Structure 1
Amino acid sequence: MTQPPPPPPPNQPPQGGFGAPQDPPPGGFGAPQDPPPGGFGAPQSPPPGGFGSPTPPPPAQGPGYGYPQAAPPASPQPSYGYPQTPPLAGQPGPGYGYPGQQQPPYGYPQQQPPYAQPPEGGGGGRKFNSSVVIIVAAVVAVALIVGGGVWYANSSGADGTDDSKNNSSDTTGGTGGKDDTGDDTSGGTGLEKAPADPSAKVLFQVPAPEVKDDQIDSVVGSWLTDSVYAKSGVNEVVGYDPDTGSEKWTLPLSGQTCAGSREVTEDGIAAVVTEGAKRNSEGDHEDCTQVTAFEVSTGKKLWTKTAAISGRKAAFEEVTISGTTVAVGGGYDGGAAFEVKSGKALWQPKVDTCTDVGYAGGEQLVAVRKCGDYGSETYEVQLLDPKSGSVKWTYKLPSGIDNAKVISTKPVVFGVDSADITASGASDVFSLDDNGKLRVKITLEDGKYDHDCGVGEVYACKAIVVGNDKLYVPTRQHDGTGEYGLTNEIISFSLATGKTTGDKIDAGDGNEIFPFRMDGGNVLAYKDGSTDVGPQVISVDGESLKQTTMLETPAGDSVLSAISGMVPKSSELLFTGGRLFMGKDLISKPYSADEKEYTALGFGTQ
């Protein structure tokens, strides 16, 4: 299923980033509370080094393309080619419906820190040198008063929600599982129940370990079950009591985490990809070669495996679970898969004319595959048998397309970015039927919608979800009808016709809203707050569009600033059973000694 890696490409920045520095907000974070039992432990000094394994940049964008040849639509589709302008940190977004710079979430600009990419080859350390300019964006530091002490929370992470039975990280738009589905259901079928009182309190915050100067450590990955909130730390995963924050277990890892499955199996198993060794004081790092499966409830490691290609260990950037299969991909080494409980290898990277770029899991296992020489690849989307890796069907994309980003695996819905720079979201979305034939192509007008899909990642789209045979996507913020500033909406497109359905989920004047997962036929969305009303998780009936508040954080400037500092649209956003958690994927040293950084923040209804 794979091919030999192409020559090493130029450097490419990883996803994510940190917000610009801000002064701490006045006042405290909600009413003072007693510290949670168990505590969080003293900050730990992480071993230094680089992050992640090499990932090639997308090749130069080819000419515009028309209909995919695998299954031409019944009627002509509009041509591609809406140019998109990459966002500039700190620059406000354009007015509604007009192309321009992307508006930073909640007014907190972000910047992606480039990393030195190692060339193709074995594991081994890679050093940053003086020719590499590492741009470390500012870390937002917001004071939180908890109990008698001052605690802090700050910026970004990767979005995440629920898949399979339990909640897990990196799931804004995924399908899979019993309550996160793309099936043709309608409202009123969700598993999440509205509480009698949606008012929430701060449950706990996870303090970040100490980070050395000019270094950025990876803590990607978080998972939520009924009994445990698990969050990656530096060279470890820690399980916390989701109500108190007391530590329940610690799982040591070979190195820092590079990826975490958004899924937790029905047996409570999750998976991570980690670096092959701990980083040293010189800033060297290992490639992301280790794949580990563990029990979320106990922290028990089930297995750690590697895959081989051309006599060396393959490196991976993404991990997903479908059924009993853990599939890993990313970078240029191709893909591999393991049985979730035993770690038995199901397939390995292969030297072939084609390479599995990555996989999307959940209810079905979908592969994005590229064929051909570097710079002239063609891409295709495949539905796989997760147990054997055999191909059920293949949908080929025309030449000139250098990316494919899976939004849903059942039904299979994926997007591409037809802009010159593939750094925003999906400008065109394809809906396929159960046989892999094109149902419709949806063009998302440039500058009008506000979602994001990770560069070089197959399964990392944020703020865009599939359900009820519809695609739900938020608009960019625009002027509201009242005196309270900007607002936006979530609208939907039919996956059968490609046309807007007329659904409109309003944020209300002065607010912003985005969807983060489906709950049966209901849309779960995050709505930011104000000084009078705290940020909310709402459930929207897919048929009536009635909004029900599931959780509301404390109100006030300090709360809004603290949550915005986590950048919810980019966080590992997990919600179930009246509990909301936001987690980061990268941490860096605070700008001053009196600032602290936290990797997670949790709220729970009373």
Structure 2
Amino acid sequence: MTQPPPPPPPNEPPRQPGYGYPAQPPTPQPGYGHPQQPPAPQPGYGYPQQPPAPQPGYGYPAQPPAPQPGYGYPQQPPAPQPGYGYPAQHPAGANPYAQQPGPGHPGGPGAGPAGPGRNNAVLLIVTAAVVAIALIVGGGIWYARSSGGDGKKDDSANSAGGGTGGRTTGGGKSGKGTEKVPADPTSKVLFQVPMPTANDTTVTAGSWLTDRVYAKTGVAGISGYDPESGARLWTVPLPGPVCYATGHVSTDGRTAVVFQPKTPPKGSSTGCSQVAAIDLKAGKKLWTRSVKSGDVPVNFNNVTVAQHTVAVGGTSGGAAFDLATGAVRWQPKPADTCYDAGYGGGTRLVAIRRCGSGDSAQLHIQTIDPVSGKVVSEYRMASGIEYASVVSTDPLVVAADVNDSAGDGSGFSDVFSLDNATGKLRTRISTPGSSYAARCDGIYEVEKCKGVVVGNDRLYLATEEHDGSGAFAKTNEIVAFDLATGEQTGQRADAGNNYTITPLRMDGPNVIAYKNAPYNKGAQVVSIDGGSFKETRLLENPVSTAVKAVETSMSPQYAEVLYGQGRLYLSAVYAHAVGASTSGKEYLVTAFGAGG
């Protein structure tokens, strides 16, 4: 997996090469929007604004250097493997990661309520295996829990570019999505939003698309724009920079962010302790809340929306609020020996709950009732798996780097397909880093996964780049796995020579994907039929120096990519400090629309 990682938080030793890091660009520096304690906001998309300089080959002329196509080309591409992207499946019954029922565990002798209460931590040290840094955990709370409630009512919808997708109809069969095929997919630039100025490198993560507005986080606030013209419709000012944002939007157009309580002095932080609900339709902030442990505000590392609940998690535990009113549903309590590190949202709410520390630490994957916080079902991962990410909450799919076997710090070596109702393991899928190009944050934002989506009870996964046909040609594909059996379906969408394809989201039974292009072609958005896997072109960008520069700096590995209603939005997740060295003019947002 060749994507670059998120920039490390302040005071954290840099992660070592081997994670797919390019030698350039420089990692954004800590400061404005990056807390010193606890760990700084990390958008999980991890994007330096300046990508590596393109290398000759892979379909590029040696002179002049053209913008680098594709989705993180490796400097020394691995030789293609036999049956590339199709590793052998583990034999049935030989799953070393199947949960072992035990006393108090669902399905085990003496099964009862799953563990101590909804959230939150005592003071402890969590050793991060990938980054080798101690994260100090704050005080937490006891919250009595028992099984009950299925949290099934569907009152949430993903943003149009929302990432994971959920259960869809069609079962992998052909069907219609909502995205229309234009008569002419050739696009034009609809509008661009200039990059805002900042005193320090500042997080600008967060973008949403509804039927009436495209909204984007700025330096200290969120603005809504007309999706076609880019005219600014509204601005919601915030007292400090946004730390984290969820891609989920409720059916009534509401979402949530975590932000700093005030703009910090250069090189410092005021903590990521404030939670706010944003009404994207009305263009207003509904409420702001925080949680204290004694007299100290609790800092959060992620946020999500599920049904009418806002849930925030971190090393001090998790909390939840009513999306409409901000009323507290649960929060960290003292004496709890476990804590909710983060949540996955959408149609269901799933907690990644961590118990213990070091080699004895264990992750509990819990489907919980969004209102009460009660456990609906639970799966206990094998001890020693330090971090996990929620790829989808319905059906429930979790990714982890088991025994650090991915080898590239991507957090993605194995995928666990779980039953929401019972918590039982349906199947485990091996997804080695040498073959697949997915990447999950895991450590901080537990539902920030790229290069993978879920729908039709299938996992759609981008493969790593490998040799194409012809000298220096590179390509990759999207392949599908059955989440019931763990076997590949045989479906395969090829990117084509010197293109790199990345799944973005589901559209009904179809997969919406972005194709980064070689130097003499424009990037594309395609719809992949869920049954035939036939690709239909929805949009193709023009070929010009300015557009290629945007595509290169805002490819899926570096930026947020949303597509909906015939329009493509590429947006940056950092604003540079004033005077920072850049290769040219930069934009916070560039929007494209099809011509016909």
Q: How does 1:444-593 map to 2 (within 5 A)?
A: 444-456=431-443, 457-483=445-471, 485-556=473-544, 558-589=546-577, 591-592=580-581
The answer to whether 1:597 aligns with 2:581 is: no
What residue is the counterpart of 1:338 in the other structure? 321
Q: Hey, what's the Cα distance between the residues in 1 that align with 2:558 and 2:40?
A: 22
Aligned residues: 483
CA positional deviation for 1:168: 5.8
The answer on whether the counterparts of 2:391 and 2:398 sit within 8 Å (CA) in structure 1 is yes
CA positional deviation for 1:209: 1.7
SS at match of 1:242: coil
The answer to whether 1:167 aligns with 2:159 is: yes
Q: How does 1:311-330 map to 2 (within 5 A)?
A: 311-330=295-314
- Structure 1 residues 447, 16: closer, same or farther in 2, change over 3 A? closer
SS at match of 2:402: coil
The answer on whether the counterparts of 1:383 and 1:394 sit within 8 Å (CA) in structure 2 is yes
Structure 2, unmatched stretches of 5+, are 1-8, 42-70, 83-130, 140-154
CA positional deviation for 1:280: 1.7
Structure 2 residue identity aligned to 1:598:
Y
Query: Among 381, 404, 409, which residue is 1:423 paired with?
Result: 409
Structure 1, unmatched stretches of 5+, are 1-7, 23-45, 58-86, 99-113, 123-162
Q: Hey, what's the Cα distance between the residues in 1 that align with 2:284 and 2:350?
A: 28
Identity of aligned residues (%): 43
What residue is the counterpart of 1:307 in the other structure? 291
The answer on whether the counterparts of 2:319 and 2:330 sit within 8 Å (CA) in structure 1 is yes
CA positional deviation for 1:186: 2.7
Q: Hey, what's the Cα distance between the residues in 2 that align with 1:594 and 1:530?
A: 20
SS at match of 2:360: coil
CA positional deviation for 1:117: 9.5
SS at match of 1:271: strand
- Structure 1 residues 419, 378: closer, same or farther in 2, change over 3 A? closer
What TM-score, normalized to structure 2?
0.74
Structure 2 residue identity aligned to 1:175:
G
Structure 2 residue identity aligned to 1:340:
L
Q: Hey, what's the Cα distance between the residues in 1 that align with 2:489 and 2:136?
A: 48
Structure 1 residue identity aligned to 2:230:
G
CA positional deviation for 1:92: 3.6
Q: Hey, what's the Cα distance between the residues in 2 that align with 1:433 and 1:561?
A: 44
The answer on whether the counterparts of 1:334 and 1:357 sit within 8 Å (CA) in structure 2 is yes
CA positional deviation for 1:253: 0.8
SS at match of 1:564: helix
CA positional deviation for 1:403: 1.1
Say which is worse superposed, 460-469 or 8-17, in terms of deviation: 8-17
The answer on whether the counterparts of 1:579 and 1:605 sit within 8 Å (CA) in structure 2 is yes
SS at match of 2:250: coil
Q: Hey, what's the Cα distance between the residues in 2 that align with 1:18 and 1:292?
A: 35
What residue is the counterpart of 1:204 in the other structure? 191
- Structure 1 residues 326, 370: closer, same or farther in 2, change over 3 A? same
Q: Hey, what's the Cα distance between the residues in 2 that align with 1:598 and 1:412?
A: 36
CA positional deviation for 1:47: 9.3
CA positional deviation for 1:304: 0.4
What residue is the counterpart of 2:232 in the other structure? 247
- Structure 1 residues 488, 89: closer, same or farther in 2, change over 3 A? closer
Q: Hey, what's the Cα distance between the residues in 2 that align with 1:495 and 1:418?
A: 19
- Structure 1 residues 193, 349: closer, same or farther in 2, change over 3 A? same
SS at match of 1:264: strand
Q: How does 1:71-220 map to 2 (within 5 A)?
A: 91-97=75-81, 164-165=156-157, 167=159, 171-172=162-163, 174-176=164-166, 181=168, 184=171, 186-212=173-199, 215-220=200-205
Q: Hey, what's the Cα distance between the residues in 2 that align with 1:482 and 1:90?
A: 18
The answer to whether 1:20 aligns with 2:24 is: yes
The answer to whether 1:290 aligns with 2:285 is: no
The answer on whether the counterparts of 1:203 and 1:245 sit within 8 Å (CA) in structure 2 is yes
Structure 1 residue identity aligned to 2:427:
V
What residue is the counterpart of 1:388 in the other structure? 372
SS at match of 1:559: helix
- Structure 1 residues 166, 437: closer, same or farther in 2, change over 3 A? closer
Q: How does 1:6-17 map to 2 (within 5 A)?
A: 11=12
The answer on whether the counterparts of 1:53 and 1:316 sit within 8 Å (CA) in structure 2 is no
The answer on whether the counterparts of 1:183 and 1:469 sit within 8 Å (CA) in structure 2 is no
SS at match of 2:386: coil
